[in-house]
Structure formats: structure tokens, C-alpha cells
Amino acid sequence: QVQLVQSGAEVKKPGASVKVSCKASGYTFTSYDINWVRQATGQGLEWMGWMNPNSGNTGYAQKFQGRVTMTRNTSISTAYMELSSLRSEDTAVYYCARGADYYAGWGQGTLVTVSS
Amino acid sequence: EIVLTQSPATLSLSPGERATLSCRASQSVSSYLAWYQQKPGQAPRLLIYDASNRATGIPARFSGSGSGTDFTLTISSLEPEDFAVYYCQQRSNWPPLYTFGQGTKLEIK
């Protein structure tokens, strides 16, 4: 079955960077886009960007342009999302999600806490 | 950027009742509209894609309709497990950019 397994929780200081991984299994990794969505506690879903694992092409929400980088390692079917210059407002659960127009598969989420 | 506005913010109903949730786009999104259900502590689950197609395994009591700028998610007869937060999501044509609505909380009355 399709599975997306994300890396564990992270605690970072303001100004640092965080890199979250998303390992795919149960399907051909390069056949579906990977998107990243975050959710602050008690808040709604916020789309961050997409990556085509086959080509490596990416598209980012304007809000995150210049701070986010999405990459992949096709040999281990894993996608990565790196967010830099972290601030307290970046404290959230970060999800990877599989799909182009819509997301039928989601990772379990990774809590990133930004605190001094 | 296309903005999705969901209404109402909170909907209080009883099991067995019919739920109607609205999602309005600031400009036409054609039929690139999806609906998700999210329960506390869980990742969202896809319910409806392309405005009216039920995702795999989704019960028939869930239905979606609409096109252009106005969309509706209907739950014909609420089950206890349906009380959750619902989000709509759209994809713009090119470049592919996505946005979510702010969510509708469906709570037990």
C-alpha cells in the first residue's frame, strides 16, 4: 500500500534551518508529485510547494520563496523539504502529500518547533 | 493568488442530519477543487476530487458539486465519525499553485 513516512520531530533555534524527509513506498516514487503542507497548532492547512520527483522541478508558494528548498533522492525514494531562517511562526506540523491536482496520500506529519 | 473562502466557519448539527458546506473561489478554478476531512491529531484525508468525484473508499453519503467559483460538499446523513474539520483546496492552471480554504468545523449539536 502507498505509504509516506516522515522523519521525526525537530526543535530548532530562530535563524536555523530544518530539513524534513518523506520516504515513499508502495508505488513508483517518480510517478507522482510530492507537495508540502504545514499546519500551525489550531490553524488551517497552508500549502508550501510542490516537487516533481522525476524531473526535480519545483514550485513554491510566494510566501516561502527564497526560504524553502525541495529536493529528492530517487535512489531511496525520499523527498526532502528544507526551510531556512526559521522563526517562531514556523512552528507547525509539516506534511508531505502525494499527488498533482489533489493529495490522496499523506505522511504522518513532522512537528517542527522553533524556540530559543 | 486565488483565495478560497469556506462557510460557515462552524456548523453545529446532530447525527442523521444533512450537512452542507460551501467553498467559494475568488476567481474561477474550473473543476480543480478537492475536499478533505481532518480529525484531531491526524493527517487530512481526501474525500472529493475534481469537484464531484469521491476518492477511493469514501462513503456514498459524501458528495461534491459545483464548478467555476462556487462549490458544495454535502453529507447526506451525518454519522458520528463525520464530525471533523473540512477543507477545500484548489489548483491553479499554470504555474501549478495550490491554496486551501480556512476550514469548516463540523461539530455535534
Give B28-57 pLDDT, tens digit per residue.
Answer: 888 889 999 999 999 999 999 999 999 999
Mean pLDDT of chain A: 96
As a whole-number percent, the residues of chain B with pLDDT over 90 amount to 87
Summarised one tens digit per residue, pLDDT across range A21-72 is 999 999 999 999 999 999 999 999 999 999 999 999 999 999 999 999 999 9
* Chain A residues with CB-CB distance to B45 below 8 A: 106
Q: Is the pLDDT of residue B60 over 90?
A: yes
3-state secondary structure B5-67: EEECCEEEECCCCCEEEEEEECCCCCCCEEEEEECCCCCCEEEEECCCEECCCCCCCEEEEEE
**Chain A residue with the nearest C-alpha to that of B29:** A101
Q: What is the pLDDT of residue B97?
A: 86
Hey, are the CB atoms on B50 and A102 less than 8 Å from each other? Answer: yes
Residue A100, chain B, CB below 8 Å: the answer is: yes
